[in-house]
Amino acid sequence: MEETEEVTSSSTEWITVSDPKQAGWLFSQDLLHSNRDSNSLFLSVDVRQDKEEQDRTLVTFYKTDNVRWTSPLRCKLQGSAAIAKVFEGEPDHLIPSVSAELLENNMFTVAGRMIGHSFLHRGPSLSGLSPAIIHILFGGSMETAPVTIRDCPDLDIRDTVKMLDGDNELKEFDAIHQLCLSCGLPAPNATNRKLLSEQLLLHAVIERTRRQTNQFQKGLKETGLWPLLSHRRDVIPILFPRESEAQVTPQLFLDCIIWPSCITVVFESYKIEDDGESDVMDVRRVSGYLKTFIEEVSQKLPCCSTRHNFAD
C-alpha cells in the first residue's frame, strides 16, 4: 500500500491475530470503545415511508460533515434502505458510476461512510466490487490493475475494445476514431489497435472513475478504518466480499446476535440448566428457541440466499 496511517487504537492485538475476521472485530471494538464517551449519533428511519423517503433519510445522515463516525450509534426503526445507485455493472465487476451529479453531490464519500460505519457495527458489506477498483482504492497503480472487459459497464465501449483487440477489419472507423480522440488517444491503425483496446479499457474503468474512487476512499477514512485496512490486507476481502461470499446465512445472523450474559450458547445444541431463577430460565429458553428457529427456518426459505449490499 502506498499510504499508511498511524495506529491510534489503544490495543494492537488486531495486528497480530491470525484470523482476519477476528482482527476486524477486535479493531472495531477497540475503536468504538475508545470513543464511548463521545456524543451519540442518532439515526431514525421510518419504514412506513416509501423507499425514496427512507433513502433520503439515510443519505442526509451520511452527508453530514465533521462527524465522529466512531461515536456510539443509536438507531430507531419506525413503523435499510439503499443508497442511490453509485456503483454499476455486473456482479463482481461493479465500478463507480460516472454520473456527474453523484460526483458533485459527494455521494461516493457518503457511500464510503456508510460502508465503513456498517463494518464497525458488524452490518452488511459491499459485495461484488471490481478487483480493479479495489486495487486502485488501496494504492495500486493503474498499470498493474487487473482490469477485464467485464469491468466495463458501457456495452458500446466493450464492443469497440473487442473489435480493436481482434483481427477483423474495423467497422465504423469514424466512430471508433472519435471515441479514441475523446479519451486522448490516437486514431487506430493496424499496428496500434491492440494497444488502443487496452488503453480504452483502462480509461473506461479506471481513469473515468478516479475522482469517484478518491471520494469513496475519503469516506472510508473518515470512519477510522484506514489503519486496519492499511496494516491488514487480509481484512479487505471481508469489507468487499465477492457476491458468492456475501449470502445471508444462519451463521451470519447468529454471529451478529449479542447473547444475554446469563447463558452459554452452544452452537451444536443448546441446553437449559436449572439454577432456580425463573427469569434466567426464561431468557435461556427463549434464546435457545431463537437460535433453533434461525437455523431451521432458513433452510426452508429462499430469501436466506438474498444479498444485501449498497449497490442495489
Q: Is the pLDDT of residue 129 over 90?
A: yes
C-alpha cell at 239: 469489507
* Residue showing cell 455521494: 107
pLDDT of residue 256: 59
pLDDT of residue 254: 62
HSE, side-chain direction, 13 A CA sphere, residue 250: 14
| Interval 130-158 mean pLDDT | 95
pLDDT of residue 280: 60
Q: Is the pLDDT of residue 198 over 90?
A: yes
Q: Is the pLDDT of residue 30 over 70?
A: yes
Q: d(Cα 163, Cα 193) in Å, to the nearest integer?
A: 9
Longest Cα separation, the chain = 87
C-alpha cell at 311: 449497490
Q: What is the pLDDT of residues 293-303, one digit of tens each?
A: 666 655 554 44
pLDDT of residue 226: 94
Residues in CB range of 259: below 8 A, 6 or more apart: 265, 287
Q: d(Cα 241, Cα 109) in Å, to the nearest integer?
A: 20
How do the domains of the chain map onto residue ranges?
Answer: 13-139+209-244, 149-205, 251-305
Give the distance from CA 51 to its chain's centroid. Answer: 21
Residues in the chain: 312
pLDDT of residue 311: 41
Q: What is the pLDDT of residues 6-24, one digit of tens each?
A: 444 457 788 888 899 888 8
Domain 13-139+209-244, CATH: 3.90.1750.10
Nearest residue to 116 (alpha-carbon basis) of 9, 21, 219: 219
Name the percent of the chain lying above pLDDT 90: 36
pLDDT of residue 305: 37
pLDDT of residue 245: 67
Q: Is the pLDDT of residue 34 over 90?
A: no
Instruction: Enter the DSSP assignment of 6.
Output: P
Confidence of residue 250 (pLDDT cuts 50, 70, 90): low
C-alpha cell at 124: 452488511
Q: d(Cα 25, Cα 242) in Å, to the nearest integer?
A: 20
Q: What is the pLDDT of residues 55-103, one digit of tens each?
A: 777 788 788 888 888 777 766 544 434 455 789 999 999 999 999 998 9
